[in-house]
Structure 1
Amino acid sequence: MYLANINRIPSIEGIKNYKIENLHKDFMAALTGVVVAIPQCMAYALIAGLNPVYGLYTAIVSAIFGATFGSSKHLITGPTNSSALLVASVMKNYMGLDNAYQMVFLLTFLVGAFKMLFGILKLGRLISYVSHSVIIGFTTGAGCLIALGQLSTLLSIPIKNSAQMATTEKLYYVLTHLQQTNVYALGMGLITIIVIIACKKINKSLPGALIGIIIPIIFIIIFSLDKLGVQLTGNIPTSLPPFKMVNFDFSFIQNNISGALSIAIIGCVEAISSAKSIATLSRQKIDPNQEFIGQGIANIASSFFQGFPGSGSFTRTALNYHSGAVSRLSGVLQGGIMAVVLLFFAPFAKYIPTACLAGVMMVTAYNLVNKDEIKKVVSLGKLKSDSLAMWVTCFATILLPNLSYAIYTGIVLTIMLHLKDTNKAPIRIFVPLEAEGVKIVEKEVEVVEDNVEILIVELEGNLYFGMADNLEQKLDSLVNKSKVFILRMKHVRNIDVTALNALKVFTRSVKEADGEVIICGLTSNLNSILVSSNFDFGIDSNNKFMSEKETFAFSSKDMERARAVLKCDTDNKSKSCDILASSFQF
């Protein structure tokens, strides 16, 4: 049943319905995307602790397979800052080994397998458990980590075995060795940063990263700055990504299964978020499960062509759409054009200063800190669940030795805080009042201070075991406050045994205090639950009213019953009876 999803290739339908006049639009969008992707993907490879060429390999293969098998027409798959940072975290203890790159490719395969499994098992909806606040916290922390991690490269301060060092250790080393800064390399990096910022202010469509790298290359060639200690990227193979079987090391798999899972989770969130953000503009419907399958296939394919884990890139996806892309062919073309560039223009890449790539990543790191979103979360309250989850995830990302722990910490904390917020029973308490021009109104009260003859208790939502204690406490505080309680349950969607028990305790306590409980607004489903659980055992049948189509029909009936309980037609001439004698309006 689920395997049928694997046989579904969305691109086939796209090819059948493709209009040849869209080819020029897709090609120009792909060409524009390549201009931005080349320096970006090389820089992401450096973040992952890899040679820049592997960023290009990943971009080529991932873009082609992601576009072919994914759900979105515009999503561009490839290296991203989050995936690169997570790869660096998982691989930090392996990068000094001879088979380090083989382990990277195995990690890519594992990540792809997890993503594909998510899609096959239709777990698309579960991605909602990774809250927006956790993602904001993670990306903010990731931005700080990237900036701090690239500081040594920007200053051209060599650090031995830096891949095995924590970011805080590298920062301490840089601060204590500032005298080793190469001013020429720093100058090249600053030129890149300034050019990128200037291009963005002049025209957002300008490829600032590419221009910011080309200008320093001119200085490198004219003034031979490489002889003055400016480190260059070095030779990049002028060949297509080579096919190579993945070396399955079961010891590595056992030790890093958690890391692969965290990369897959964040990758899926990143891809779906990017695809949906553009889908709101393109009006395309996104299938999360199909997108997971597409992302999984892209990573699995990439693992056989020496790629590291990638995901959907928001930056390149947005650029693809705004550059006029019409179909998924633009993603396939982007991978193909990048392969041509690698095949014929790779020799020129050896002149790129690593400090310039670090400059690209400094700007990227700054952009990752979404100040507007942080303000929105904080504005909800500093001690609210969203805010706490965001800040804990952010600092965990920066301080914990493994980024996987930070992600899991954020997810678990979000769920715990959500459960804490939902363990409060949704109760509204009303007191019927007489008002001028209106025969009867309801006044909502937080606390019932004085005794009244009628209290209306309105329950809402799903009443489950988590809020049963809170429900019992709230109801218990009302027992001696009134003679007649009207329990409105029209807006109760479901109720479990534990919450039912809390209601039983309340009705029993009211009866022992010589009071009456009237239940109204019962749906047929809710009534069957009460009957099967014997909840209404001992409750007068006259005290139970089913929900009616008219919005407030049941209110008049339960008020009439309240009049009967208070004996308003005989000897009781209280204020409550006068109110109940009026016609009802709610």
Structure 2
Amino acid sequence: MKGRGRFDGYHLSAFRKDMVSGLIVGIIAIPLGMAFAIASGVRPEYGIYTTIVAGILISTFGGSKFQIGGPTGAFIPILFAIVMQYGYENLLIAGFLAGIMLIVMGLFKLGSLITFIPRPVTIGFTAGIAVIIFSGQIANFLGLNGVEKHEDFLSNMKELGFHASTVNSYSLLTAGICLVIILLAPRFMPKLPGALLGIVVSSVVAALFFNGEVATIGSAYGTIPSTLPAFRIPDMTWERIVNMLQPAFIIAMLGGIESLLSAVVADGMTGSRHNSNRELIGQGIANMITPLFGGIPATGAIARTATNIKSGAASPISGIVHGIVVFLVLILFAPYASHIPLASMAPILMVVAWNMSERHAFIHVLKTKTSDSLLLVITFILTVFTNLTTAVEVGLLMAFLLFVKRMSQSLTVEKVLPDPNHKHEKVRANMVYEGHDCPQISIYTIDGPLFFGAAHKFDLEIMDTGQQRAKILLLRLGKVPLMDTTGEANLTALVKAFQKRGGMVLLSGTQPQPLQVLKKTGLHERIGTNHFFAHTGEAISYALIHLDSNKCLGCKHFVFRECTALSNTETQYDTSLSLEKNGNNKFI
């Protein structure tokens, strides 16, 4: 759907729907923005700034009609690792660079390529991220004291074990209240945002009955300012830019994947169609501008986008309204947010982690017990125990190798001969057996792509079946959709070896792409233009003309209908004249 089409037929009633849905999503986004920021290792207000700025820009410039953008749970492990290793200032630079990369991806129309990442890889790292988010909130849920945050999962788990004796019963009760409300609200109060209701109720209970006993946003991070920060360009030196290129690339890739997945979900819910390249450009603009206001990287949020649609959104206006709502709440109610207990934020992120875990898809892939199951488990384990960068790199490499292996197995090479019992004497593999095989003509059907992963199999199969004894090699390429330079090189080697000992190579049914490759590399000319045929029958007729007639005398194989005459001295001459005159054969 093109940008202008996003507002086709827009009217006043649609605007009312956008106002309502924007208000609802804006209220939901407030606690999530703060929670995601805290979990990412930065101050809570930075999540609010991101929700406002990125939310408005993504809806304005993106390619999806219903997309809601902002900070998301998927970014938490990456952003936390960047903050721990490089600091907040460098995180802003990484976000800015990621924005540039996303714009470049969109301009070069790479939107569709991102969706080619195998499903087991995305499920694996998404589930891994969910585990990291969930485990990262255990300390706040239990109110543990003295817990230091580390980059790696095992160190954080050890910290929890070392400080398990410091459980704060007040924090545990506060978190429990919030969690129960979040879980029950959709059933008993479906029109009220469960996360916001849980925070408000648990915060009030903590303020009235546990005052001073539970850590709050204010006690941990200070008072949240009620204004947007001043526009400021991060201090970008060449050294900093170089150092942040890899983190920026990971942010850009994950942001692109998440935003396009969210857009696809929105398409499925509404029957609309997003523009993937425009979506990447919109995400890029948002991630370039947001850091200038202190915000963290953002992307499309699947849950908030779905809520936006369910609330009746009609256009991108709802996403813009959602950002304005968050801005107004920041101005009017920011001081009150400082009293929110950290224990109230923990259940929100735990529920987010549970919902994003892809547990059903995870189990489904495991049940298949295929190479995809292994790919899923390895990506998941690496995400949890190393980092997302390693997990995605290894996952994609494994997926590539498994794909090559599968494709190589899909190539079949069969030696065939005509079946006289078939109406059109169709060639079949079961017609080749001991005592029934032409000593001078070898015919092979190649089925599948002839590329680097399968080219060796093609070569070996033909050599192993003894084609070296034949004078003429006929290759049926009608079922070869693709040939790369490796496949062409193997075919060239085979042709050269065959021609070196005086043999002739014929090709039939060659498809356009392989034919183009053969012409560009010169193999077409080496084989000979007159040795390419549209149909197998034509190629067989040509081959029969060029047989060594002396070797046919007395042959008892009789694999072609002409063999009876060719093996007889008295009729061989007349048969050869007939073949040269007609030059046609019914074999297919």
Give the TM-score taking structure 1 as reference length: 0.84
Provide the C-alpha distance between the structure 2 equivalents of 1:217 and 1:143, rounded to a whole number of angstroms: 25
Provide the C-alpha distance between the structure 1 equivalents of 2:526 and 2:225, rounded to a whole number of angstroms: 85
Shift of 1:68: 0.7
Provide the C-alpha distance between the structure 2 equivalents of 1:411 and 1:293, rounded to a whole number of angstroms: 24
**1:557 corresponds to which of 531, 535, 538:** 538
Structure 1 residues 283-302: aligned runs within 5 Å: 283-302=271-290
Query: Residue in 1 aligned with 2:560?
Result: 577
Query: Residue in 2 aligned with 1:231?
Result: 215
Q: Which deviates more from structure 2 when the two are superposed, residues 440-449 or residues 191-200?
A: 440-449
Shift of 1:504: 3.8
Tell me if 1:81 matches 2:73.
yes
8 Å contact kept, 2:436–2:557? no
SS in 2 for 1:522: coil
Tell me if 1:242 matches 2:242.
no
Aligned amino acid, residue 67 of structure 1: S
Structure 1 residues 416-565: aligned runs within 5 Å: 416-423=401-408, 426-429=411-414, 431-432=416-417, 434=419, 440-441=425-426, 443=428, 452-453=437-438, 456-460=443-447, 462-480=449-467, 483=470, 485-507=473-495, 517-523=505-511, 526-527=514-515, 530=518, 533=521, 535=523, 544-545=532-533, 547=534, 554-561=535-542
Query: Residue in 2 aligned with 1:360?
Result: 348
Provide the C-alpha distance between the structure 1 equivalents of 2:342 and 2:158, rounded to a whole number of angstroms: 21
**1:150 corresponds to which of 137, 148, 160:** 137
Query: Residue in 1 aligned with 2:390?
Result: 405
Query: Residue in 1 aligned with 2:360?
Result: 372
Q: Which deviates more from structure 2 when the two are superposed, residues 572-581 or residues 496-505?
A: 572-581
8 Å contact kept, 1:67–1:329? yes
Query: Residue in 2 aligned with 1:3?
Result: none
Shift of 1:371: 2.3
**1:49 corresponds to which of 41, 45, 54:** 41
Provide the C-alpha distance between the structure 1 equivalents of 2:307 and 2:414, rounded to a whole number of angstroms: 53
8 Å contact kept, 2:419–2:428? no
Query: Residue in 1 aligned with 2:85?
Result: 93
Query: Residue in 1 aligned with 2:569?
Result: none
Q: Which is greater in Rg?
A: 2
8 Å contact kept, 1:49–1:88? yes
Q: Deviations over 1:438-479 (max 9, x none)?
A: 564554579988873376533355534454333222222223
**1:175 corresponds to which of 139, 155, 161:** 161
Provide the C-alpha distance between the structure 2 equivalents of 1:198 and 1:188, rounded to a whole number of angstroms: 16
Aligned amino acid, residue 231 of structure 1: A
Aligned amino acid, residue 148 of structure 1: S
Question: Alpha carbons of 1:491 and 1:439: their partners in 2 closer, same or farther (altered >3 Å)?
Answer: closer
**1:105 corresponds to which of 79, 86, 92:** 92
SS in 1 for 2:444: strand
Question: Alpha carbons of 1:83 and 1:285: their partners in 2 closer, same or farther (altered >3 Å)?
Answer: same
Provide the C-alpha distance between the structure 2 equivalents of 1:130 and 1:315, rounded to a whole number of angstroms: 21
Query: Residue in 1 aligned with 2:336?
Result: 348
8 Å contact kept, 1:299–1:310? yes
SS in 2 for 1:110: helix
Provide the C-alpha distance between the structure 1 equivalents of 2:474 and 2:139, rounded to a whole number of angstroms: 70
SS in 2 for 1:576: coil
Provide the C-alpha distance between the structure 1 equivalents of 2:432 and 2:186, rounded to a whole number of angstroms: 57
Unaligned runs of 5+ in 1: 1-8, 95-99, 548-553
**1:184 corresponds to which of 164, 167, 170:** 170
**1:254 corresponds to which of 229, 239, 242:** 242
Query: Residue in 2 aligned with 1:199?
Result: 185
Provide the C-alpha distance between the structure 2 equivalents of 1:230 and 1:48, rounded to a whole number of angstroms: 21
Question: Alpha carbons of 1:255 and 1:197: their partners in 2 closer, same or farther (altered >3 Å)?
Answer: same
Provide the C-alpha distance between the structure 2 equivalents of 1:362 and 1:113, rounded to a whole number of angstroms: 32
Shift of 1:316: 0.8
Shift of 1:92: 0.8
Tell me if 1:217 matches 2:203.
yes
8 Å contact kept, 1:140–1:370? yes
Provide the C-alpha distance between the structure 2 equivalents of 1:319 and 1:474, rounded to a whole number of angstroms: 57
Shift of 1:118: 2.3
Query: Residue in 1 aligned with 2:126?
Result: 139
8 Å contact kept, 2:216–2:342? yes
Question: Alpha carbons of 1:426 and 1:327: their partners in 2 closer, same or farther (altered >3 Å)?
Answer: same
Question: Alpha carbons of 1:44 and 1:435: their partners in 2 closer, same or farther (altered >3 Å)?
Answer: farther
Percent identity for Structure 1 against Structure 2: 27
Provide the C-alpha distance between the structure 1 equivalents of 2:257 and 2:445, rounded to a whole number of angstroms: 38
Provide the C-alpha distance between the structure 2 equivalents of 1:171 and 1:288, rounded to a whole number of angstroms: 39
Tell me if 1:28 matches 2:10.
no
Aligned amino acid, residue 411 of structure 1: L
Q: Deviations over 1:473-493 (max 9, x none)?
A: 222222349856531122434
Provide the C-alpha distance between the structure 2 equivalents of 1:433 and 1:447, rounded to a whole number of angstroms: 9
SS in 2 for 1:221: helix
Shift of 1:188: 1.9
Question: Alpha carbons of 1:576 and 1:451: their partners in 2 closer, same or farther (altered >3 Å)?
Answer: closer
Tell me if 1:130 matches 2:111.
no
Provide the C-alpha distance between the structure 2 equivalents of 1:425 and 1:507, rounded to a whole number of angstroms: 23
Provide the C-alpha distance between the structure 2 equivalents of 1:341 and 1:446, rounded to a whole number of angstroms: 80
Aligned amino acid, residue 230 of structure 1: V
8 Å contact kept, 1:432–1:440? no
Provide the C-alpha distance between the structure 1 equivalents of 2:443 and 2:55, rounded to a whole number of angstroms: 61
Q: Deviations over 1:295-336 (max 9, x none)?
A: 111112211222111111111111111221110001000001
SS in 2 for 1:226: coil
Q: Deviations over 1:214-252 (max 9, x none)?
A: 3312322332x133x222222653523222312214243
SS in 2 for 1:49: coil
Provide the C-alpha distance between the structure 1 equivalents of 2:325 and 2:155, rounded to a whole number of angstroms: 40
Question: Alpha carbons of 1:192 and 1:564: their partners in 2 closer, same or farther (altered >3 Å)?
Answer: farther
Q: Deviations over 1:18-65 (max 9, x none)?
A: 322201111111122123212222211111012222211111111101
Q: How large is the Cα RMSD of the aligned pairs?
A: 3.6
Matched length: 560
Unaligned runs of 5+ in 2: 565-584
Provide the C-alpha distance between the structure 1 equivalents of 2:172 and 2:81, rounded to a whole number of angstroms: 26
